[in-house]
Structures are given as C-alpha cells and as structure tokens.
Structure 1
Amino acid sequence: MMIMKAKGEYSFSTCWNIKKHTVGRELIEEIRELGFSRVELNYNITREMLTTIEPMIERGEIGISSVHNTFPHTPDPDYGTDSVLLGFDDEAKRKRAIELLVQSAEYAHRYGAKAVVVHPGEVPFPYDISEELAGIYREQGRDSAAYQTLWTQMLERRNSLSGHYAKRIRDSLEEVCDRITSKGYDVAIGIETRSRCYQMPTLQEAKTIIDGLKGAPVNLWYDIGHGMIMDRMGLYDNAKEANEMIDYILGVHIHETIGLSDHWCPYIHSGDLEFFDRFVNIIRQAPIKVYELKAACQPEDIERSHELLTGKIARLETQG
C-alpha cells in the first residue's frame, strides 16, 4: 500500500467523496488518510454532516481552507451552483442569494476559513446551450460549421447581456461585503471561473467586477480545469489571461481537463507531463490551493499527481 505523504498547505475538496458518505466524520477521515490536513467544504455538505465535522474542527483534527457557496447545502436550484444567483433581476430572489452568501461567510468565519468560493451568476439561456455545443464539439469539432453557427448565436446573446448581469453581480457583492465587513468577518469572496460558456465570470469579467469594487474583499477564484474547457470551446485564452491576472487570484481549484471532461488529476490522467506546467506558477503563488477532483481519481493517482506538481514548483523556486 502506498504511503500518503503530508500535503502541507494544500487543501482537498469534499466533492471527491461526498457521494460515498452520509456521516461527515467518515468523509473527513477518508480525506485525512490521503495526507491532507485541510479541506474545502463543498456545497453538498449538509447540516447533519456538520454535526460530526464541527467537533473535528474544534479539536484541531482538520483545518478548513474555504467553504463553497451555498453552504450548508441548499436544495433549491434557484440558489444552486448553476443559476443566475447574484444576478437575479427578481429583487426578492437576489436578496435571498445575498443572504445565503452572507451565511456561507459566517460559517467560513466560524471555522477559521479565509475564503468563500461562489459561482456568481450567468447570462440566462432558455436551455443548456453549452451542453449542445459540447456535443457538437465532440462529434464534429470546434471548426465545424455547426459548431461555429451555434457558437456565434450563443456569443451574440452572451455579449449583449453580460454587462447587465455583471453589474447586478457587482452590486450584490458590494452588499455582501458591506454585511460581512460590518460583522467583522476576516473572510474574502472568491468569484470562480466556470465550466459552461454562458456562465459568469470569464477572466476579463472577473477583472471588471473586482476593479469595480475598489478594494472590497472580492478576488478571483481560478478554477484551472474550467478555464481549460472555456479555452478549448473558444471563450477566452485561458493560460495567457490567467497568468496576467495572477495578482487577482485568491485561490485555485487544481484539476486537469481531458477534452471537455474535468476534475482529473494533473499530469496523470492526461498522460501529458508538460501541458499543465503553464499553471504551475499560478498555483505556487495562490494563497489558497485546493484540489478539486472527481471520485474516479484513486488515492495513488492523487499521490503521484501531487508529487509531480510539487516537484515542478520546487524546481521553479530554485530557478528564482
């Protein structure tokens, strides 16, 4: 059996094994066996699970790097991870989304976490056009006429409405920051790059929103695998723009994408020992580093991936 080394400052998302467990303590223990002493509590963690996780936090058995909005689990899809959320035009829904994000920040503060990860919103479409585009991408390719026609339709709607929804999101984040600052929470909000082409923010949208908040505790949460998907689909130049925005980054979700399938172990499942290197300096400099892997990633895959990644970071540091 492989001996799992301590992972130091690196954290690990509970999305890896959330579907295996109903008891929070058992979920956390399995992650600890991988060598992680810190976790990100994801949005599927329930209040019932917290009854056995909270004593572990209080005893110092596990540290919490971050929580993922909405937290704890909120079953209403209006406030889920794929919704308009902070961009709602319906004022009652927008206010509810704000309340839930403040609640997530309250839990983060209570657990000693420094960040709340949030999927802030989207340009609404009548159906999941990103899924249709992905199907064409796989079957006919990005350069096909079918893909380019539908992509152009998507982009026209996205571009025409993104400014409006970005403003709604920025206004909501301003309210959230006022609330959490007044409560004395030492917690920042990380707006996460997303995996569907109509979702917000792109890297440039994130920059605009953050710059517009003028020093509020809002930063970029850079999801590397999601950025890879958006790059392949044609929305933005992921590695170039992310490296240019390195000073905006609060935290990273570390995973690799194969084609348009994400949450794989970097270097291991792709078999490519070089492509992911373009993100190594971002990970090195990110204040919060979280692996966000799918259940198919086995412990030995995770261990080997971490060894490769940290070895590359160590070599980068010796080069100055």
Structure 2
Amino acid sequence: MQNDKGTYSFSTCWNIKRHTVGREMVREIGELGFHYIELNYNVTREMLATIEPMIERGEIGVSSVHNTFPHVPDPDYGTDSVLLGFEEEDKRQRAIELLVRSAEYAHRYGAQAVVVHPGEVPMAHETIKELERLYNESGRDSEMYRTKWREMMERRQAESGRYVDQICRSLEEASDRIAAKGYKVGFGIETRSRPNQIPSLQEAKMIIERLKGAPVYLWYDIGHATMMERLGLYDNDKEMDGLMDSILGVHIHETIGLSDHWCPYVHSKDMRSFDRFLPMIEKAKVKVYELKAACRPEEIHESHELILSKLPGAGDGSLT
C-alpha cells in the first residue's frame, strides 16, 4: 500500500461531511494509506450498512468508535452534554445504555476502545465563547479575561464534584455491563475542548483511581489538551505525572491559537512545540489522527512522516 501508515488510525471526522455512503468515505481514508479507522459519532446506521462488509472482508480495521455510536441526533446525548453526569436517573440510565451500545459495536468490529466524552458542568455556550473571544483579543493576562475566567472557575469548582460522582457511577455500571457481556474493550475518557467540560487532568486521575480495576483509561486528545492549557484549566507537563500509564489512546492533531484539528508541525510551521506530546503518542496503544477537512492528503503524509522521524524506534505504532 502506498504511503502505508501501519497501525496508526484515522478518524472519519476528516471526510464524513463529504460523503453520504460509508463505503466511499472509508475508501478515501484507505487511499491515504490507513488500514485502521476510528468511526466517529456522526457515523449513521445507513453508513454502517456499506462499511460493515468492508470490516468483515478485512479491507479495513476499526481501532475505536466514538460514543455515542452510531449517531444519536438527540443533543441530550451528544458530545457536548451532561451525558454520564445526568442527575435525572432516567437520562443517566439512557446514557449508560448508549455507552454500552457503543461498546457492543466496538466489540463486534474488533476495536480496542470507545472514546468517551463523560460530561460537563452545564454553562451557557455564550459564556465559553466570551472567554475565547477575550483570550484572542486581550490575552490570558488581561484583567477582563482573568475576571471572566475566575467567575467561570468558581462556578465550575462549586458544581463539578457532583457531576464527577455521577460520571463515576455511570462508568462503573457500564463497565459491569460490558464485563457481563464479555466485551474486551476499554473506555477512554477524553480530554475536552471547553473549560466547563469534564475531565480536567486532575479529574481524569481521580476518576481512573476511583474505578481501579474497571476498563476506564485516559484518552489524551492532544489538541484539546493544548487548548485547555492555553485557556488556563491545567498544565499538561505537570499534571500528566501519574497518568502516563493510564493512556489508552490519543487523538493526534495540533492547535494553532484556539483552532484545533490541524496537522502537527505542518500547519503551525513550528518544528519543536509539539515534541512534548510525542511521549503520549508513543505510550498510547491506539493512535488516531483526528484532523479537520481542511487538511490535504499531502499535508497528512508530511505530518505523519515528521512524527515518525521524531519517534526513533517507534516503528509504525502499536495496537497491541
């Protein structure tokens, strides 16, 4: 295969908006040299009708699926929602059922992981957009930004505990259910793209420790983690201590300012800053490029070659 990417995987978020037929979407990714894909949360049952025969024939492998999967149009169970942290028991149970369903598909496809957005402290989207606007216009050290950030964090800290508790309950129940079914897949709780969303790195560590023995791990989204560091939620270099051995998977992409899902090194033209995330890529069992549609094939190839050149001895990645 030309430009063979080995066991590195590639998310369907790159081209899903260009396709209505799943087979054609997967073939386009295959033409980039990827034999493994991550099926993201916008993949529909209709798309799966033409993808599943490809999986059965061994034309493509599935590294991971992204909860909730297949696509669920209800925003209550979308990627930016309270989800596993619902205090309403009927909604929480529905969220657990959907997570177990995602794990069932992952098991059926031979995937190792379900990528999970656990939940959030509910806040108006405008509040977060205002923080981003102030960051871009005035900078993180401006008085206006610091004031708004402090207000947001005070609310987040006051309310996050009860949502984390519910998330732990939900993950524990989901873990018990998939164990009973014999599904050998892991739940990767993902670092998120908005500061009101759970988990921070500290919360991730707390959740994983509380659920020790359950198949709950960290899914380290590099671009999101960069955004949260820039906004001030956590310090990746300091707070990854104690979490490296808990990494199940990574989403590989670079953030420029607060714009994410770019090809590492290629779009930023910065050949050094992304290097600090290479140990996370090397550690992860599942390595997935999660790139935006604007990334062109030649840029994807160049970015991958640069990463491999900076990972001496890492070969083509590992799904073992």
Task: Assess same fold via TM > 0.5.
Answer: yes
**Greater mean alpha carbon deviation, residues 241-250 or residues 194-203:** 241-250
TM norm structure 2: 0.96
Paired residue secondary structure (1:221): strand
| Identity within the alignment, % | 68
Partner of 1:34: 32
CA–CA distance in structure 2, aligned partners of residues 27 and 239 of structure 1:
36
Who is 1:241 aligned against?
239
SS at match of 1:314: coil
Q: Which residue of 2 aligns with 1:209?
A: 207
Query: Match for residue 304 of structure 1?
Result: 302
Partner SS state of residue 280, structure 2? helix
Q: Quick check: 242-251 or 283-292, which moved more?
A: 242-251
Q: Which residue of structure 2 aligns with residue 102 of structure 1?
A: 100
Pairwise CA RMSD of aligned residues? Answer: 1.2
Report the counterpart of residue 123 of structure 1 in structure 2.
121
Choose the corresponding residue for 1:17, options 3, 15, 34. 15
d(CA) in 1 for partners of 2:228, 2:11: 22
How far 1:126 moved relative to its partner? 3.6
Post-superposition offset of 1:245: 1.6
SS in 2 for 1:86: helix
Q: Quote the Cα distance in structure 2 between the aligned partners of 1:307 and 1:52.
A: 31
Q: Are the equivalent residues in 1 in contact too, given 2:282–2:311 (CA < 8 A)?
A: yes
| Letter of the structure 1 residue corresponding to residue 308 of structure 2 | T
The code of the aligned residue for 1:44 comes to: N
Question: What is the CA-CA distance between 1:130 and the residue it aligns to?
Answer: 1.7
Give the CA deviation at 1:316.
7.7
Unmatched segments (≥5 aa) in structure 1: none
Partner of 2:179: 181
Q: CA deviation at 1:282?
A: 1.2
Flag structure 2 segments of 5+ consecutive residues without an equivalent.
316-320
- Residue 314 of structure 1 corresponds to 312
Q: 2:266 pairs with 268, 272, 277, which one?
A: 268
Instruction: Kindly provide the CA deviation profile for residues 158-196 of structure 1, in whole angstroms up to 9, marking residues without a partner as x.
Output: 011111111100000000000000000011100000000
1:62 corresponds, among 60, 63, 69, to 60
Distance 2:83 2:280 in 1: 28
Q: What pairs with 1:222-301 in structure 2 (closer than 5 Å)?
A: 222-242=220-240, 244-301=242-299
What's the offset of the Cα at 1:241?
A: 2.1
Is 1:170 equivalent to 2:199 in the alignment?
Answer: no
Q: Deviations over 1:271-291 (max 9, x none)?
A: 000000001111011100000
1:38-97: CA deviations, max 9, x gaps? 000000000000000000000000000000000000000000000000000111111100
Counting only pairs closer than 5 Å after superposition, residues 188-199 of structure 1 correspond to structure 2 as: 188-199=186-197
Q: Which residue matches 1:220?
A: 218
User: What TM-score does the superposition give when structure 1 sets the normalisation length?
Assistant: 0.96
Tell me if the contact between 1:119 and 1:194 (Cα under 8 Å) persists in the aligned partners. yes
Aligned pairs for 1:39-50 within 5 A: 39-50=37-48
Alignment of 1:119-158 (within 5 A): 119-158=117-156
Please say if residues 194 and 200 of structure 1, whose CA atoms lie closer than 8 Å, have aligned partners that are also in contact. Answer: yes
SS in 2 for 1:296: coil
Cα separation, partners in 2 of 1:233 and 1:199, compared to 1, 3 Å: same
Q: Distance in 2 between matches of 1:232 and 1:101?
A: 31
Counterpart secondary structure, 2:213: coil
2: distance between equivalents of 1:217 and 1:306? Answer: 29
Q: What residue identity is the alignment partner of 2:182?
A: G
Distance 2:144 2:124 in 1: 19
Q: For 2:158, which of 153, 157, 160 is the aligned residue?
A: 160
How many residue pairs get matched? 315
Contact 1:243 1:282 in 2 (8 A): no
Displacement after TM superposition at 1:244 (Å): 4.3
The superposition leaves residues 136-162 of structure 1 with CA deviations (integer Å, 9 ceiling, x where unpaired) of 111111111111111000000001111
Contact 1:221 1:251 in 2 (8 A): yes
Q: Do the aligned residues in 1 keep the contact of 2:308 with 2:314 (CA within 8 Å)?
A: no
